[in-house]
Structure 1
Amino acid sequence: MSCILNIETSTEVCSVAVSNDAECIFNEEDHSGPNHAVKLGQFVDEALSFIDNHAIPLDAVAVSCGPGSYTGLRIGASMAKGICYGRDVKLIAVPTLELITVPVLLQEQVTDDNALLCPMLDARRMEVYAQLFDRSLKEIRPIQADIVDETSYKEYLDKGPVYFMGNGSEKCMDVIRHPNAHFIQDIKPLAKYMFPLAERRIALSQFEDVAYFVPFYLKDFVAKASKDMLASLHLEK
């Protein structure tokens, strides 16, 4: 087993955890909003001090690799890469949607043998980033950006129970009314749940190239012009 510094910044929650021998031994979370630029450095300093004070050798840094907030993912990846360079440790990428399933599985909230898990991230309006897994986290359908309506995921729902989770699922509850659709609320991707996925990637030697690693955004970032900029362009015409 390994000592891993886990960083999660894919949504509005900023969280950092330290796991050692498959146990979470340090955890900090901020749920007050997208404060990653302020909170992440503070949490990481506290985590590294905890590791050093307990004389635990750090083996790797795990970071959520997306999809999710463009800014949040970039902040998390930059911090993770800096630590890997500074401490000469391995970098592990943990997919955000896969991470969302971990607390559901750990808490045994899904008991049907044939159930599918559908983690979702809000992608504005009625669009979500979604993926489907079985209970062993074998991918059944890859990540897609889905426009949700009453027929969404019907081909899977007709075959058996599907459990939806993550902040994208909350806006689907009144739209997807299939009897096999189940919704698990208040599930967030958090650093304290990353270590089972990170440990599995260590066992498989699935490490990232620190120099070339970039998060998986799924969609290209589009910068929005401010109202002041739009007004000035209008005046120049």
Structure 2
Amino acid sequence: MKILYLETSSKNCSVAISDDEKLLCVAEEVSENYKQSESLHSFVEWALEGAELSIKDIDVVCLGKGPGSYTGLRIGAASAKGFCYGLHIPLVAVNSLESMKETFLVQNYDLVIPLVDARRMEVYTAVYDGISGNELSPTEAKVLDETSFQEFNDKKILFVGDGAKKAKEILQLPDAEFNEDIYPSAQYLVKKTLEKIKNKDFEDIAYFEPFYLKEFHGVKKKKSEE
């Protein structure tokens, strides 16, 4: 089964292709300017070329559904839906935070905690078991302060993600470790995607929306006159 993975929730515009669990190709780039709109389809073309496939060979599309950048998620969702509609194939959606902890499991950490910068002192986060990778605390938007994560102060913790920089400055957890240069990546969505395919846990393409977690605060709409 050939699977196309799209991950656009962060500064990392990321595309991958696998044949079941075998990763065939990855195309990704971290950009401060969020280049999903101009890069995503080029990356899909490069990944297909690297995997020696055509888009018609793809059997399933997986989207990193967020949380993260509102605009990035909209671009990723629109592209994923377009591929699924055009090819008549199913859509799988995986929490983007899942991909951030994959490479740090079974490395002597009790907990792996992704932190995605959500501006000011807020982060998107969830808590995962450092061995099994199971979710221990659900995904939430959390405002960091000196008391954050104190319930885990007796655990060996690794914080990963671009939100780890500000966390390192404020959290009162002297034994914790921080890795700031980690972003959601399409190549680490494979395991969870295969689980969902096995369970036939597919999205309703017509009604699917990314996992925004928070409402988008942009230009206010004018109230319609009654």
The TM-score, its normalising length taken from structure 1, stands at 0.85
For the pair 1:39 / 2:35, whether they are aligned, the reply is: no
Q: Unaligned 5+ residue runs, structure 1? A: 226-237
Match of 1:127 among 89, 114, 122: 122
AA in 2 matched with 1:91: L
Which residue does 1:143 correspond to in 2? 139
Q: Are the counterparts in 2 of residues 4 and 19 from structure 1 also a CA contact under 8 Å?
A: yes
Q: Is the Cα–Cα contact under 8 Å of residues 3 and 56 in structure 1 kept in the other structure?
A: no
Is this contact kept in 1: 2:66–2:211, CA < 8 A?
A: yes
Of residues 184, 199, 202 in structure 2, which corresponds to 1:189?
184
Q: For 2:152, give the aligned amino acid.
A: Y
Q: Counterpart of 1:173 in structure 2: which amino acid? A: K
Q: Quick one: structure 1 residues 38 and 201, their matched pair in 2 at CA, closer, same or farther if it must change by over 3 Å?
A: same
- Are the aligned partners of 2:66 and 2:95 in contact in 1 as well (CA < 8 Å)? yes
Which residues of structure 2 form unaligned runs of 5+?
A: 221-226
1:167 is aligned to 2:167:
no
Question: Structure 1 residues 56, 21: closer, same or farther in 2, change over 3 A?
Answer: farther
CA RMSD of aligned residues (A): 2.0
Matching residue of 2:19: 20
- Structure 1 position 23, deviation (Å): 1.7
Task: Indicate conservation of the 8 Å contact 1:9/1:75, yes or no.
Answer: yes
Q: Secondary structure at the match of 2:6?
A: strand
1:75 is matched with which residue? 75
Q: Deviations over 1:151-201 (max 9, x none)?
A: 11101223x222211111121112113234221331111112111121121
State the shift of 1:56 in Å.
8.3
1:4, 1:61 within 8 Å by CA — same for their partners in 2? yes
Alignment correspondent of 2:91 = 91
Partner residue, 1:200: 195
Of residues 50-59 and 2-11 in structure 1, the stretch that sits farther from structure 2 once superposed is 50-59
User: Structure 1 residues 47-56 or 116-125, which shifts more?
Assistant: 47-56
| CA deviation profile, 1:60-103 (whole Å, cap 9, x unmatched) | 10111010000000000100011011111110101011111112
What is the aligned-residue identity percentage? 41
- In 2, Cα distance between equivalents of 1:144 and 1:58: 33
Q: Secondary structure at the match of 2:57?
A: coil
User: Per-residue deviation at 1:46?
Assistant: 3.3
Give 2:201's aligned amino acid.
Q
For residues 192 and 68 of structure 2, the distance between their equivalents in structure 1, rounded to whole angstroms, comes to 18
> How many residues align structurally?
218
CA distance in 2, matches of 1:56, 1:67: 29
Q: TM-score normalized by structure 2?
A: 0.89
Instruction: Tell me how far apart the structure 2 counterparts of residues 96 and 125 of structure 1 sit (CA, whole Å).
Output: 21
Q: CA deviation at 1:51?
A: 5.8
**Aligned residue identity for 2:108:** T
1: CA distance, partners of 2:55 / 2:213:
39
Q: Partner of 1:232 in structure 2?
A: none
Partner-residue secondary structure (3-state), 1:141: strand
**Equivalent in the alignment of 2:217:** 222
